Amino acid sequence: MRVGNWRAEWFGNIRGDVLAGIVVALALIPEAIAFSIIAGVDPKVGLYASFSIAVIIAFAGGRPGMISAATGAMALLMVSLVRDHGLEYLFAATILTGVLQVIAGVLGLARVMRFVSSSVMTGFVNALAILIFMAQIPELQGVGWQTYPMVVAGLAIIYLLPRVTTAVPSPLVSIVVLTIVTLILGLDVRTVDNMGELPSSLPVFLLPDVPINLETLMIILPYALPLTVVGLLESLMTASIIDDFTDTGSDKNRESTGQGIANVATGFLGGMAGCAMIGQSVINVKSGGRGRLSTFIAGAFLLVLVVGLGDAVGKVPMPALVAVMIMVSIGTFSWRSLANLRTHPRTSSVVMLATVAVVVATHNLAYGVLVGVLLSGIFFAWKIGQIFGVHSTISDDGRLRTYVVTGQVFFASAESFLSAFDFDEALDQVCIDVSRAHFWDISAVAALDRVVLKFRRDATEVELIGMNEASATIVDRLGIHDKVDALDYVPGH
């Protein structure tokens, strides 16, 4: 890396980065606690993770100005691992996730992101928002009536205070006010203290207390794989969002590797796996953060605050936290996508809704993305299959018919290819001109074979024109055949 570049990425915007980093640190604390609760671990696990991921990604990441920490998307994937096997296995899974992400980064798998269409991405954020909201519901059930007015008051402060001033983070004010009110009135509501242990010291390096054998690997691998995928997906998606804001590029493979390094280290420091956060990254940019320093300050200041304030953090009432998380959920959801349902092509809407539905049903963002990507692929094949036509002319004496095939012939259009021929016509000769068609796969070639055989049975002589050019596009069979060259052979394209 060039020295000038390095300096610009770190110290190009010191004032903005420091202030934005502080805003983000304050916003990260309630989220880290809330996501720990979702995962079923002590708040300290999420807080240590947020500290370590943010600080490490500040150095190792490929997208300056992006915030990474403990996230809801990742927390949701580890619930059953923690419940069934315990915390130590979570640390081991976090380390394995990191290793897999480093491998993905080194292999340059960021390229695969191109198969994730924007409808799938929208589905991803919407599903995430819904899951974050749903995770708050248990906090609202079976609690005293005081909880409800507190949540409403919290939301009121969060949304109305910025009309008065945007100099202080309104979620923080909301939390402070509600905490003080709870203490003064002695309200009977649950507090963060009830949720588990808070950090009282700096994190220390420790090896996860799990047996190192195949059995352990088989336990953590099914968790590490979706964690890897979801972590990279959300990180690269967030990186693109920040790219758009700042109109600068980012190194997606370096980001993947950086996420991996951050997760490996976090596992050893007693934290849970995390990734980039869309909401916090937007808050960072909005607050004026642009460089790596903002991410570093966010992580470092978070730890200082939590360790320094220790006891006070424990006094925060859960309704205040719920209010903040409802805001995060509302802010994460793409409301515009609802309006777009009416105007976007129906297939994109189906992909988006299917992604959301699968995630909400399985609580696993990886499955949703998988279904979304598959559906987009199928829809695309279906659409491209429409770009296909067969036209025919008969000779004056009625003995010869010439079929001209144009467009894409492959598995999705092979059937319509077959039905485009009229086998009831008794002809002496048939000429099939395929020089302007693309024969993409074996299904297409098989369909053509069947057409030829059918005509032959009826004693019709078949002449094929341009088969070599058309089948030059069967890239699979030709293996290393240069595609650009293949398309040159086909004037119909």
Strand partners, 388: 407
Tokens of 347: 């297939």
β pairing state of 429-439 and 461-465: parallel
Tokens of 261: 């390094």
Q: Closest separation between CB of residue 88 and other proteins, Å?
A: 34
| 239 or 285: CB nearest other proteins | 285
Q: Closest separation between CB of residue 285 and other proteins, Å?
A: 7
| 269 or 352: CB nearest other proteins | 352
Report d(CA 365, CA 76) in Å as an integer. 9
Number of neighbouring beta carbons within 10 Å of residue 379: 18
Report d(CA 278, CA 68) in Å as an integer. 9
Interface characters, 271-300, with other proteins (x: CB under 8 A): -------xx--xx-xxxx-x----------
Tokens of 185: 């009135």
Query: CA distances (Å), 432 to each of 112, 271, 392, 462, 466, in order?
Result: 39, 66, 9, 7, 9
Report d(CA 264, CA 267) in Å as an integer. 5
Q: Does 406 bind other proteins (CB under 8 A)?
A: no
Closest to 231 in 3D by CA, of 283, 197, 195, 266: 266
H-helix or E-strand spanning residue 487: helix 483-488
The only residue of 334, 362, 416, 429 in contact with other proteins, by rule CB under 8 A: 334
Identify the burial level of 166 via C-beta atoms within 10 angstroms of its C-beta, where 0-12 means exposed, 13-18 middle and 19 or more buried. exposed
CB-based contacts of 391: which residues, under 8 Å, 6+ apart? Answer: 403, 404, 406
The only residue of 68, 101, 170, 182 in contact with other proteins, by rule CB under 8 A: 170
Closest to 228 in 3D by CA, of 112, 322, 139, 340: 112
The only residue of 8, 9, 18, 19 in contact with other proteins, by rule CB under 8 A: 19
Q: Does 245 bind other proteins (CB under 8 A)?
A: yes
Identity of residue 330: I
Torsion angle in degrees (nearest 10) through CA of 152, 158, 160, 162: 180
Report d(CA 440, CA 437) in Å as an integer. 9
The only residue of 168, 189, 442, 452 in contact with other proteins, by rule CB under 8 A: 168
The only residue of 72, 154, 171, 270 in contact with other proteins, by rule CB under 8 A: 171
The only residue of 57, 60, 81, 172 in contact with other proteins, by rule CB under 8 A: 172
The only residue of 84, 247, 396, 485 in contact with other proteins, by rule CB under 8 A: 247
The only residue of 84, 244, 396, 397 in contact with other proteins, by rule CB under 8 A: 244
Q: Closest separation between CB of residue 335 and other proteins, Å?
A: 5
H-helix or E-strand spanning residue 436: strand 429-439
Q: Does 356 bind other proteins (CB under 8 A)?
A: no
Q: Closest separation between CB of residue 6 and other proteins, Å?
A: 17
Q: Closest separation between CB of residue 17 and other proteins, Å?
A: 10
- Binding segment for other proteins (CB under 8 A), chosen from 18-26, 34-42, 103-111, 191-199, is 18-26
Q: Closest separation between CB of residue 19 and other proteins, Å?
A: 6
| 23 or 265: CB nearest other proteins | 23
Q: Closest separation between CB of residue 57 and other proteins, Å?
A: 20
Q: Does 229 bind other proteins (CB under 8 A)?
A: no
Q: Closest separation between CB of residue 372 and other proteins, Å?
A: 20
Residue ranges that bind other proteins, judged by CB under 8 A? 13, 16, 19-20, 23-24, 26-27, 158-159, 161-162, 165-172, 241, 244-248, 278-279, 282-283, 285-288, 290, 327-328, 330-332, 334-336
